Amino acid sequence: MDDIIPERRQILAIEKSKKKIKRRLGDRADGRRVRSISPMARVSPFIMRTRNTSQNFFRDEIDTTKIDRYVKEKKAEGLAGFNIMYVLIATYIRTLSQMPGLNRFIAGQEIYARHNIEICLTIKKEMSLESPDTVIKAEFEPDVTAAEVYEKINRIIEDYRNSPGGAFDSVAKVLNYLPGFLMRFVVWVLRVLDYVGLLPRFLTRLSPFHGSFFITSMGSLGIPTIYHHLYDFGNLPVFMSFGAKRHRYEMQSDGSVKHVPYIGYTFVMDERTVDGYYYASALKFMTRIYRNPWVLDERPEKVVEDIR
């Protein structure tokens, strides 16, 4: 999709260069330290030291009637394989464009605003018990449309399935050759480097433990959604899972009965990045998009920048 709108990308690049924030002491390669947060938020990571002991869990369901119609329209437009996963990813990116606090992360007991949007998801080369899985990552601008999300992720998936393996697979393969004691040492070194903000950027770009958002589909496995834990290594703040579609009959106000499709979904969130009101507002914002996914065909009027 990028080659369709080169002029616009050029304008965005110019605007970004003008707005680029100078790196200050305490910033990282993948994010800048948020310095204007409240004292309580500043102290919180020192009290709740790990991501797994700072998790909040949220569960809800989506009436997919309108999303199903939207997906059908996209397939008719030529986006073969377009499904609800792309809608969910595009919805989250759109939410980040308006509520950038969701893109913060904790590292070294400090709160950082991530420089970019990185989406992680697990895929298999083929749906079989023996087929290995891997994590792919895609980086997006905050104003992307659902079609652009589909094009980029679909291209990455196809490249992976048509190649011996991804970049993360290559790193994992090298580590696999190490004896256990040496692997423990290497991982310890990586943890220390990550803690002090010196982990090389090329590694955080590959790592499935570093990113804005991780999404996993239980629906593709034919089972309900799960609560997937966060990782103590890395800085991933939010994990979303969604399950298989199910149907039920509901009584309408006029006495008629309607057949309604649903999917269940869960969020596991690091509560130290933003407060409960912020998370609740973001979840409501996403629900509004689920009810009208056609807004994902248009770019947002503005992109909100996180606090300094």
Mean pLDDT of 123-146: 81
The answer to whether the beta carbons of residues 74 and 82 sit under 8 Å apart is yes
2-297: CATH topology: Chloramphenicol Acetyltransferase (3.30.559)
pLDDT at 10: 40
Q: Which residues contact 174 (CB under 8 A, 6 or more apart)?
A: none
What is the structure's pLDDT at 4?
A: 43
pLDDT at 23: 81
Q: List Cβ neighbours of 8 (8 Å cut-off, separation of 6 or more).
A: none
pLDDT for residue 7: 41
Query: Has this prediction a pTM greater than 0.85?
Result: yes
Higher model confidence: residue 68 or residue 169? 68
pLDDT of residue 92: 98
- Transcribe the chain into DSSP letters: -GGG-HHHHHHHHHHHHHHPPPP-TT--SSEEE--SS-HHHHHHHHHS-SSTTSEEEEEEEEE-HHHHHHHHHHHHTT-TT--HHHHHHHHHHHHHHH-GGGGEEEETTEEEEESSEEEEEEEESSSSSSS-EEEEEEEE-TT--HHHHHHHHHHHHHHHHTSS--HHHHHHHHHHTS-HHHHHHHHHHHHHHHHTT-S-HHHHHH-TTSSSEEEEESGGGTS----PPP-SSS---EEEEE---EEEEEE-TTS-EEEEEEEEEEEEEETTTS-HHHHHHHHHHHHHHHH-GGGGGS--S--PPPP-
The residues spanned by each domain of the chain are 2-297
Residue 265 clears pLDDT 60, i.e. is over it: yes
Q: What is the pLDDT of residue 13?
A: 44
What pLDDT, in 10s, does the model give residues 102-121?
999 999 999 999 999 999 99
Query: Is the pLDDT higher at 160 or at 66?
Result: 66
Q: Please give the residue that has the higher pLDDT: either 161 or 103.
A: 103
- Residues in contact with 68: Cβ distance below 8 Å, sequence separation at least 6, in sequence order: 84, 261
pLDDT at 9 (0 to 100):
46
pLDDT of residue 116: 95
Taking only the tens place, the pLDDT of each residue in 1-45 is 444 444 444 444 435 544 566 788 889 999 999 999 999 999 999
For residues 176 and 241, which has the higher predicted lDDT (pLDDT)?
241
Check residue 165 and give its pLDDT: 62
